[in-house]
Amino acid sequence: MEDIGSIEQELEAARVEIVALAQERDAERDRALRMAAEAENTRRRLERDKADAVQYAATGFARDMLSVADNLARAVESLPADEAFAGLRAGIEATQRELHAVFERHGIKRVAAVGLALDPNLHQAMVEVPSQAEAGTIVSEMQAGWQYKDRLLRPALVAVAKASEGADA
């Protein structure tokens, strides 16, 4: 008959092995859960990136079209007020209106600027000028800014009212 001491030793060794296996099982379960969570997070991020890519696919094209809008605006501004150019002016203005209507249909909007406070997320101050307006107020726009849906395509290039000399004292 085996002695009780050796049986107890075998039982203790079995308990230690069971505890070690349980710890190893728990560690592997935790690792598997973490990997599954990481895979789910990756899947969600990829879905979000795909949705963004689809939603903002036209951003590059829209940005390129801004130069067309700028050139049409310059063409209208440069035409003399002569009656001789009335037809040409009307044609260019009609083209400009149509381009802006297409922009609007596709979520491309002009950034409001003149008369507003400078917003560094939408405007780029190019120069400070003396003005009766409150300091930091946009007094003129040098180049229109544009947004595509909720993303800025191009900031508005603006002139900002300078603080008056008396305000420094």
Question: What CATH number does the domain containing 77 carry?
Answer: 2.30.22.10
Give residue 63's pLDDT.
Answer: 85
Considering the domain architecture, whether residues 74 and 24 belong to the same structural domain is answered as: no
Write the pLDDT tens digit of every residue in 21-40: 999 999 999 999 999 999 99
Retrieve residue 1's tokens.
């008959």
Q: pLDDT-based confidence at 2, cuts 50/70/90? A: low
Considering the domain architecture, whether residues 11 and 86 belong to the same structural domain is answered as: no
Q: DSSP H helical segments within the chain, as ranges? A: 4-55, 59-78, 86-105, 165-168
Query: What is the average pLDDT across 113-141?
Result: 88
Considering the domain architecture, whether residues 101 and 156 belong to the same structural domain is answered as: yes
pLDDT at 54 over 80: no
pLDDT at 169 over 50: no
Q: pLDDT-based confidence at 166, cuts 50/70/90? A: low
Considering the domain architecture, whether residues 83 and 159 belong to the same structural domain is answered as: yes
Taking alpha carbons only, the member of 98, 34, 37 closest to residue 69 is 98
Give residue 15's pLDDT.
Answer: 93
Considering the domain architecture, whether residues 32 and 111 belong to the same structural domain is answered as: no
Query: What is the average pLDDT across 105-113?
Result: 89
Give residue 131's pLDDT.
Answer: 82
Give residue 165's pLDDT.
Answer: 66
Q: What is the DSSP string of 92-104?
A: HHHHHHHHHHHHH
Question: Do residues 152 and 121 lie in contact, with contact meaning Cβ atoms separated by under 8 Å?
Answer: yes
- If one counts every other C-beta atom within 10 angstroms of the C-beta of residue 152, the result is 14
Question: Do residues 146 and 110 lie in contact, with contact meaning Cβ atoms separated by under 8 Å?
Answer: yes
Structural domain of 101: 59-168
Q: For the chain, what percent of residues have pLDDT higher than 90?
A: 37
pLDDT at 46 over 80: yes
pLDDT at 106 over 60: yes
Q: What are phi and psi of 68, to 5 degrees?
A: -65, -45
Among candidate residues 55, 72, 94, the one where a domain is terminated: 55
Considering the domain architecture, whether residues 51 and 63 belong to the same structural domain is answered as: no
Considering the domain architecture, whether residues 41 and 7 belong to the same structural domain is answered as: yes
Write the pLDDT tens digit of every residue in 57-98: 778 888 888 889 999 988 888 888 888 888 898 999 999 999
Considering the domain architecture, whether residues 39 and 68 belong to the same structural domain is answered as: no
How many domains are contained in the chain? 2
